[in-house]
């Protein structure tokens, strides 16, 4: 019975859900009036992955979901949130997958950030053996 009720409710709710989906996200393709805020939003959007696409940022994607996310980002930035706060909010919802900027303080991604230092050190070590010692000044 419960199941049946749930089904009925689900059926009834479809038109409403469809309606809430109807008005397009207001800031999907509309820039913020404040150029500083728009630039901040733009920079952040370029670092967020469009979850429905193949390797595109939400700034570059035509997918409806990317449009919704753009709108979310712009609205939150306009409301005074910092880009990092918006990013964390999205990571909380979608996981690290959504951000192209792997965090340094994470059990999984820290090796990425250590790599440049280790590699440079290894390169210097490798180079040291190659050179002949200078025979002093002439």
Partner 1 sequence: MIAETGLIALWLAAALALLQFALGAIGLRAERDDYSAAIRPVAVAQGLFVSLSFLLLIWLFLRSDMSVRLVVMNSASVKPLLYKFAGTWGNHEGSMLLWVTVMGLAGAFIALFERSLKKRTLVATLAAQAFISLGFYAFLLVSSNPFERMFPVPADGQGLNPLLQDPGLAFHPPTLYFGYVGLSVAFSFAVGAMITRDVGAAFAKAMRPWVLGAWIFLTLGITAGSYWAYYELGWGGWWFWDPVENASLMPWLAATALLHSVTVLATRDGLRAWTLMLAVVAFSMSMIGTFLVRSGILTSVHAFAVDPERGSFILALLVIYIGGAMALFALRVGTVKEGSRFELISREGALVANNLLLSVILALVFIGTLYPLLVEAVTGEKLSVGPPYFNLATGPLALLLVAVMAAGPLLRWRRDNPKTLLNRISIPILITAAALFALALFTTGMSVLALLGLGLAAGVAVASFAPLWKRNLRRTPLHTYGMIVAHFGIAVALAGMACESSFTEEMLVAAKPGDEIVVNKWRLEFEAIEPVAGPNWTALEGRMTAQYGDGVLHEIKPQNRMFAAAQTQTSEAALLTRWNGQLYVVLGDGDSQGRWQVRVWWKPFVPLIWLGGILVALGGFLAMIGRLRRGYKQRKHMEFAEAML
Residues that bind partner 1 (CB under 8 A): 29-31, 39, 42, 46-47, 49, 54-57, 59-62, 95-102, 108-109, 111-113, 115-116, 119-120, 123-124, 126-127, 130-132, 134
Q: Three-state DSSP class for 48?
A: strand
The nearer residue to partner 1, 80 or 136, going by C-beta atoms, is 136
- Distance in Å, CB of 78 to partner 1, minimum: 15
Q: Is 20 or 137 the residue whose CB approaches partner 1 more closely? A: 137
Burial of 49 per CB tally in 10 Å (0-12, 13-18, 19+): buried
CA dihedral 8, 14, 16, 21 (to 10 degrees): 160
Closer to partner 1 by Cβ: residue 66 or 76: 66
CB of 19 to partner 1, least distance (A): 15
State in angstroms the smallest separation of the CB of 13 from partner 1.
Answer: 25
Residue whose C-alpha is closest to residue 44's, from 16, 21, 78: 78
Radius of gyration of the chain (CA): 24
Residue 38 CB, nearest approach to partner 1 (Å): 9
**1 or 126: whose CB is closer to partner 1?**
126
Give the integer Cα–Cα distance in Å for 7 and 27.
Answer: 34
Calculate the dihedral angle through the C-alpha atoms of 27, 29, 34, 37, rounding to the nearest 10 degrees. Answer: 80
């Amino acid at each position: 019975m419960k199941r049946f009720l749930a089904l009925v409710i689900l059926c009834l709710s479809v038109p409403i859900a469809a309606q809430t989906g109807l008005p397009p996200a207001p800031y999907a393709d509309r820039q913020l009036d404040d150029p500083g805020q728009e630039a901040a939003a733009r920079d952040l959007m370029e670092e967020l992955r469009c979850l429905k696409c193949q390797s595109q940022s939400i700034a570059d994607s035509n997918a409806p979901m990317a449009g919704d996310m753009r709108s979310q980002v712009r609205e939150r930035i306009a409301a005074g949130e910092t880009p990092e706060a918006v990013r964390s909010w999205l990571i909380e919802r979608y996981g690290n997958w959504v951000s192209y900027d792997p965090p340094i303080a994470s059990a999984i991604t820290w090796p990425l950030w250590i790599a440049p230092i280790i590699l440079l050190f290894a390169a210097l070590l490798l180079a040291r053996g190659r050179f002949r010692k200078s025979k002093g000044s002439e």
